[in-house]
Chain A
Amino acid sequence: MGQSVATWRRWAWLTGLLVVPLVILAVLVNLTGDISWIQRASSALILMIIVVGLHTFSGNSGVISFASVAFAMIAAYTSALLTIPVEQKPSLFPDLPFFLDWLTTVSLPVPLGILIAVAFTGLIALIVGIPLVRLSGLAAGIGTLAFLVVVTVIVTKWKAVTRGESTMVGVPKETTLWWAVAGIAIAIAIAALYQMTRRGRRLIASREDDKAAMSIGISIPIERLWGWTLGCAIAGLGGALYGHYIATFSATTFGFALTFFTVAMLVIGGLGSLTGAVVGVLVVQILAEFLRTLETQGLGPIPMLEFPGLTEMVLALIMLLVLILRPAGLTGGREITTWFRRRKSAPSDQSVSA
């Protein structure tokens, strides 16, 4: 890639500082042997992959996207179709269109299915990205939301391929906690690398000052298309892993609720840094867990709150508060590495940054 040694060193630090704590967390959770905790940790890590994908585009470009869950959905269905055992396919998909007939004869190993699903998702992202990345601000929000609606409608209506409103069944349930750990490690490593290379830096520059970026020859649509395609493919990795984790799913699994959660996580953690994506997922997930416990069984001395939807409402409120009080999120849009560097060189920095 021709990156300098210093770049590789910074990449290793950022990746390590984010991945190692997650691995430790996973090991600890696994040690408890508590199935429900292992499940929660697995789904949190898978969700984190989708949020890292969202960050890769929105965090670096400053353009909001509501479409990452749509790409997660595309990948989940693609990988499912490629990996469901051959014996089950005739009964599950009796009316496959002729150009997909070959699907009845293939049942790929899950890792290969995921890989192809991710590549396919990236291709779709590249194609729809060509018009979509030209939008920004409100138009980008509406455009990506429209895409989510389109994908949802296709998945719900195209019964022959997606089973419509019936759930997808027979999907090999292979994603474990360790798969999720591997997935998030890959996602973080790729996202960190991208944002440190020249390409990523150009996108970040265009986010800060589009006119200045244009005047030094940065092609904003091209840089956004790179970030978009990569980010959607990462979201696809999360979606495919999720499909093989829950094994039965439908379009509603990947709907507005999940979209809201992923965007809220990124905003609360801090739009603009990979650390923000990771922190946002952890904070929101822990908070949601706590609220859900309150909602369903009460917690210690606190009685059960008969208040369905409490979790979503509180999260929405927190997101609003963060947007108003701390628009750069909990991390302030900073990477964990700058925090370490700052402390290390604090004396010499003070005179300048004070």
Chain B
Amino acid sequence: MSFLDLRGVRIAYGEAVAVQGLDIHLDEGEFVSLIGHNGVGKSSTVKAISGLVKPTAGTISFEGEEIQGKDPGVILRKGIAVVPEGRRIFTRLTVKENLTVGATVRKDRGAIEASYRSMIDRFPVLGKYAGRMAGLLSGGEQQQLAIARALMSEPRLLLLDEPSLGLAPQVVDQVFDLLGELRNQGATIFLVEQNAAQAIRASDRYYVMRTGGVIQVEAKGGDSADVSAIEADYLHFGKV
């Protein structure tokens, strides 16, 4: 039994089919990436797992239990948190408030406060600007906040939708370093990226998604991965 298992998932918006026949699985503790070009349905896949869109066919199971079509709050309570595309932090709340609302599904105030402390240890810049409106943070800081906000729910599976989007190369490196660190601490990570080379190197395994949701490749990632081959293949369809 896989930790997360998508079988024959189909996602349609009215007439328009975004994803079809998608099979993906993750084991606990794995770092898996899904790469693909604009509009192939990566975000739709993430939204289907986190409950923001309902798949029109197929099953999504988490620890053996079917979760497709359930409400986002229910899925979050089962342990799946998401860092959405475009960060979507709450600009009118302070940095600290963003983190505490991230813990909405938890009850124990003391434990939430402890998580907050450990979060600002991990992301010192968030501690430094704790009382500042989150909208005033830079893009990279906002991305750290988005990740930290998701972690505040103490998820067992973290979904990330293009966390490197719009960030300077050094900041992208920081984000990937952070993901590597999380993985080494035992987190299970499902990363959606267009930044194929970096995603592949960072992950244990990766999938390449093509229009219509057909998975062409499923391969081993890591530092030794033959990124050039997949890049060549990937470049064939457009920019990386």
Q: A residues engaging B (CB < 8 A)?
A: 2, 6, 198, 201-202, 204-205, 208-209, 211-219, 272, 338, 349, 352-353
**From B88, B104, B132, B133, contact of A218 by CB (8 A):** B104
Q: A201-B97, A204-B93 are in contact. Are A214 and B72 (CB under 8 A)?
A: yes
Q: A215-B50, A217-B73 are in contact. Are A205 and B149 (CB under 8 A)?
A: no
B153 touching A217, Cβ below 8 Å: yes
B101 touching A215, Cβ below 8 Å: no
**Closest beta carbon of chain A to B49's beta carbon, Å:** 11
Residues of chain B lying within 8 A (CB to CB) of residue A218: 73, 101, 104
Residues of chain A lying within 8 A (CB to CB) of residue B88: 209, 211-212
* Interface of chain A, main secondary structure: helix
**From B52, B131, B149, contact of A211 by CB (8 A):** B52
Q: A198-B100, A198-B101, A352-B136 are in contact. Are A215 and B93 (CB under 8 A)?
A: no
Cβ proximity bits B54-80 to A, threshold 8 Å, 1 near / 0 not: 000000000000000001110011000
- 15 A-B pairs, CB-CB below 8 angstroms? A6-B131, A198-B100, A201-B101, A204-B90, A208-B90, A209-B88, A211-B52, A211-B88, A216-B102, A216-B150, A216-B153, A217-B72, A217-B76, A217-B105, A218-B101
Q: A338–B136 Cα gap in the complex (Å)?
A: 13
**From B76, B92, B136, B138, contact of A216 by CB (8 A):** B76
**From B84, B97, B100, B138, contact of A215 by CB (8 A):** B84
B52 touching A217, Cβ below 8 Å: no
B236 on the interface (CB 8 Å rule)?
no
Q: A211-B52, A217-B77, A218-B101 are in contact. Are A205 and B136 (CB under 8 A)?
A: no
Q: A201-B97, A204-B90, A217-B77 are in contact. Are A2 and B52 (CB under 8 A)?
A: no
User: 9 closest Cβ contacts across the A-B interface?
Assistant: A217-B105, A212-B88, A217-B73, A217-B76, A205-B90, A217-B104, A214-B72, A215-B72, A352-B136
Residues of chain B lying within 8 A (CB to CB) of residue A353: 136
Q: A219–B71 Cα gap in the complex (Å)?
A: 10
Restricting to B143-162, which residues have a CB under 8 Å from any CB of A?
Answer: 149-150, 153
Q: How many residue pairs bridge A and B at CB < 8 Å?
A: 71
B91 on the interface (CB 8 Å rule)?
yes
Residues of chain B lying within 8 A (CB to CB) of residue A217: 72-73, 76-77, 104-105, 153
**Closest beta carbon of chain A to B154's beta carbon, Å:** 12
Interface centre among B50, B72, B81, B137 (most CB of A within 10 A): B72
**Closest beta carbon of chain B to A2's beta carbon, Å:** 6
B209 on the interface (CB 8 Å rule)?
no
Cβ proximity bits B89-116 to A, threshold 8 Å, 1 near / 0 not: 1111100010011101100010000000
B90 touching A215, Cβ below 8 Å: no
Number of interface residues of B (CB under 8 A): 33
B82 on the interface (CB 8 Å rule)?
yes
B93 touching A205, Cβ below 8 Å: yes
Q: A216-B150, A217-B77 are in contact. Are A208 and B91 (CB under 8 A)?
A: yes
**Closest beta carbon of chain A to B189's beta carbon, Å:** 17
Q: A219–B50 Cα gap in the complex (Å)?
A: 15
**From A2, A6, A209, contact of B90 by CB (8 A):** A209
**Closest beta carbon of chain B to A332's beta carbon, Å:** 11
Residues of chain A lying within 8 A (CB to CB) of residue B91: 208
Residues of chain A lying within 8 A (CB to CB) of residue B150: 216
Residues of chain A lying within 8 A (CB to CB) of residue B97: 201
Residues of chain A lying within 8 A (CB to CB) of residue B149: 216
Interface centre among A211, A216, A272, A349 (most CB of B within 10 A): A216
Q: A98–B49 Cα gap in the complex (Å)?
A: 57
Q: A335–B161 Cα gap in the complex (Å)?
A: 34
**From A202, A204, A211, A213, contact of B92 by CB (8 A):** A204
**Closest beta carbon of chain A to B69's beta carbon, Å:** 14
B84 touching A211, Cβ below 8 Å: yes
Q: A216–B80 Cα gap in the complex (Å)?
A: 10
**Closest beta carbon of chain A to B209's beta carbon, Å:** 21
Residue on B with the closest CB to A201? Answer: B97
B72 touching A202, Cβ below 8 Å: no
Residues of chain B lying within 8 A (CB to CB) of residue A204: 90, 92-93
**Closest beta carbon of chain B to A334's beta carbon, Å:** 10
Q: A338–B133 Cα gap in the complex (Å)?
A: 10
**From A201, A205, A214, A352, contact of B52 by CB (8 A):** A214
Residues of chain B lying within 8 A (CB to CB) of residue A219: 73
A216 touching B50, Cβ below 8 Å: no
Q: A211–B137 Cα gap in the complex (Å)?
A: 21
B104 touching A216, Cβ below 8 Å: yes
**Closest beta carbon of chain B to A221's beta carbon, Å:** 11
**From B50, B72, B136, contact of A349 by CB (8 A):** B136
Q: A218-B73, A219-B73, A349-B136 are in contact. Are A212 and B90 (CB under 8 A)?
A: yes
